[in-house]
Each structure stands twice: as structure tokens, then as C-alpha cells.
Amino acid sequence: MLYDKIKDTDPETYGYIKSELARQQDGLEMIPSENFTSIAVMQASGSILTNKYSEGYPGRRYYGGNEFVDKIETLASERAKKLFKVPYANVQPYSGSPANLAVYFAICKPGDTIMGLDLTNGGHLTHGWKTSVTGQTFNSIPYHVKKDGMIDLEEVRKLATENKPRMIWVGYTAYPREFPFEEFSRIAEDTGAYLVADISHIAGLVAGGVHKSPVEYVHVVTTTTHKTLRGPRGAMIMVTDKGMKKDNELGKKIDKTIIPGMQGGPHNHQTAAIAVALLEAAQPEFREYANQVVKNAKALAASLMRNGITTVTNGTDTHLILVDLTPFGNGLGIFAEEALGAAGITVNKNTIPGEPSSPFYPSGIRLGTPALTTRGMKEPEMETIGMLLAEVLKQVKNEKLPENKEEIQRYMESFRTEIKGNQKVKEANAKVLEISRRFPLYNEIESK
């Protein structure tokens, strides 16, 4: 079996891996940034390539013995370029945040003005949030969503016209509608800004043809590889034809920013796993998968709303749903996360537009369908899961965090104990287990 050697060498670590496997198999993973890779991707990620140092790029390494690593990295890069229809791709970034940081330093200088969606409105830390190094190094001007939860494009244009940013981000972590690339492109062209699309959440949907591609409209595309793309935990930076026309040295600048600017030796096992995932994403079956992800998300959102749960923008265009719990009360996200966890459903608490509480105790939760869809679930299961979610969420509507911060931890400990004994939560957990067992995960891996 896949973990036999770990079992023999380190029973303690093996035990934790085995427990995590059981948790994934017997529950519903609904965090929209999580997915299940194929066995092939996992095997590449755990391959002998982890042994090799390969600082530099194919044909330009600081170490010898890289002839096969060069072929693997070139293969991954070429597959990325073909899949996303771009002339340049760097597959070395360790993860999404370093990839985004590399783009900053390839295009901007410290102090330059940049724009990105406000974190509490669904943006990402690395798009200029104040506690991120990006918000501390650059002059960040955030834009926002309107009361209906949709991007305020009038505000974006106004802020860009007034502040003349060097770079504008379009891309989000908690925005359930299709990204308006074309509208952002016009704003960037009118103000002279570089436009960068962070498609970490929707890369698989773009590859599968169920979300508009940013490539025609932006200069640079960044993405992680482990969300809807269903690959390992890595990232890529791609420059479009439009980006090359704006600066034909842009690809070289990004290369230099990654190494020697930011990173050392690339994670070759990760690069190989990205190559495998990109090949999988180019298959007709992946297009069917991406299409089903969106169908499932729409069905799940509809089920939630039919069962009395409010969703931001009243639905979704993508894989992601943002639930607004304020009809029950403010700051209930942490209670919802804990209650659903007790029922075997994994979600994450999340801020909502106009958040009345705080990012630490927000008033929403974020849901997604990539992992459920990988297991083979479809619309009928989404209907049932929507009802289960609604039933559990209604169990927390009378909760309220203490005003005294010192009492919160004690209150939450008491809540966790009580919610595990809640009859509705127990019933939901039994149903979750039944659904999970009907859609087994990783039959090839020892689970007993």
C-alpha cells in the first residue's frame, strides 16, 4: 500500500496520516480552496525528485545532474502554456503568495501604488491587505463590493483614475460571481496600469472552459495549482501576449525575481506533480468535471436558499458560495464552522461584505464543491447536503459571543462540548457518513 514504508519506519506519523485519511473519507470537504488530487499526482509529489537541488532554470542550473529535472520542468511549463494559451509560464513558485510577491517585484518598486479587492470584501491578503507585506511595502488602494455583493466597478474606475496605480489585481478568495476581466481591462488600459489576474480559485474552471479566461484581457496571470485545478500545492506565473507586448522583458523579469530574487532550489517533486495535473486537466474528462463543479455549486446554493439560508449575491457562478449568517446574528461564523465540523462537514468561517463583526469572528462561512465533485457527487447529493447544512446552521442561531474577549475561549469550549451532543447535529453526522460511504475516496490506499 502507499503508506507501508511510513508505517514501518514511523508508526506515530503513520497513525496521524491514517487518521487524516479517515477524516477525509468519512466527511464532506467543502472548503472551496481544497480538493483531492489523483493518486498519480500524489505519487509524483512523493517521488525521488525530492532528492535533487536544481537552482536556476532548464539549461541554466547552478548544480549538475539536472538533465531529467530540466525535461520535467520544461514539460510542466509547456503544458501550462498550451492549456492556458500563454507564451510564458514559470512553474517554480512554492505557493500562491510567493508567486504574487514575485509579480509585485517584477513590475513595481516599493512605494508604488497598487489596487486589489479589500480583504473583508472577499479579496486576498497578498492583494495589498494592510497586515500583509504587500500592503506594507506598496501604497495599497483597496476597492470594494456594493451592497448586493457585486464588484463596484464604478468605484474601481474612480480610484484608478484618481490614483494611477502601477498594478491592479483582479481575483478573489470569497467572491461567488464570474470575474469581470473585460471591464477591468478597460480600466487598466485607460489608466496605464498593469492588470494581473489571480485565478487561484478558478484555474480549473478556466481550464475546463466553464469560466471566462483572463488571458485575452490581462498582462499577467497567477494561480495556485491545488484548488479547482486539482494538482499539488504549488503555483504558476504566466505572462500573456498582451503582457509581452507591454513589456517584452516581463517573463525574464519574473524569472529573475523568483530565482535568485526570492527562492532557492525549486521543489522538483512539486513541479512533476504539476506536470501530471496539467496533463489531467487537458483531458475531456476534466472539462466534464469542471462543468459539474459549477452545476453542483448552483444546485447547492439553491438548496440552501430554499431551506432558509442567505447567500451573498443570491447564488453563484463558480465553485464557491458565501453564506451570510446575519439573519441569525452577527459573528456566528465560528459557531457555524464548529457545528458543521461536529457533523462531519468541513467549511471555513469568512467575512461577508459590510462585515458587522471582525475577521476573527466573522458573520459568514465559505462553501465550495470541488472536492465533493471529485468524489462523483452530483445535483441530488447537493440538494441533500444543502438541507443538512441548513439544519445544522439553524442550531447556532441563538449563540452570541461574550463581549469580554477573555471569556470567549471559555464560551467556545463549552459550545464545542454542547454542539457535539446536539441531536440534530448527530443526525446530520450520520447522514454525512452515509453519503461519504457511497462515494469512496482513494480505494487504492489502505484505510483500515
- For residue 443, pLDDT over 90 is answered with no
Q: In this structure, is the dihedral angle defined by the CA atoms of residues 11, 16, 20 and 25, taken in order, positive or negative? A: positive
What are the φ and ψ backbone dihedral angles of 321, each rounded to 5 degrees? -130, 135
Amino acid 448: pLDDT: 43
Residues 381-433: tens digit of each pLDDT: 999 999 999 999 999 999 999 988 889 999 999 999 999 999 999 999 999 99
* Domain 295-438, classified CATH 3.90.1150.10, yes or no: yes
* Domain 44-281, classified CATH 3.40.640.10, yes or no: yes
- For residue 202, pLDDT over 50 is answered with yes
- pTM score, whole prediction: 0.95
Amino acid 444: pLDDT: 61
CB atoms within 10 A of CB 405: 10
What percent of the chain stands above pLDDT 90?
96
Residues 280-299: tens digit of each pLDDT: 999 999 999 999 999 999 99
Range(s) of the chain covered by CATH 3.90.1150.10: 295-438
- For residue 239, pLDDT over 60 is answered with yes
Residues 307-331: tens digit of each pLDDT: 999 999 999 999 999 999 999 999 9
Residue 31 binned pLDDT confidence (cut-offs 50, 70, 90)? very high
Residue 275, Cβ density class (10 Å: 0-12 exposed, 13-18 middle, ≥19 buried)? buried
Residues 86-115: tens digit of each pLDDT: 999 999 999 999 999 999 999 999 999 999
Amino acid 1: pLDDT: 59
Range(s) of the chain covered by CATH 3.40.640.10: 44-281
Helix (H) or strand (E) holding 271: helix 268-281
Q: Residue 284 has what DSSP assignment?
A: H
C-alpha distance from residue 118 to each of 8, 336, 338 (Å)? 48, 24, 26
Would you say 204 and 36 are in contact if contact means Cβ atoms under 8 Å apart?
no
Across 197-209, average pLDDT:
98
Residues with catalytic roles:
53, 55, 198, 224, 227, 233
What is the chain's mean pLDDT, rounded?
A: 96
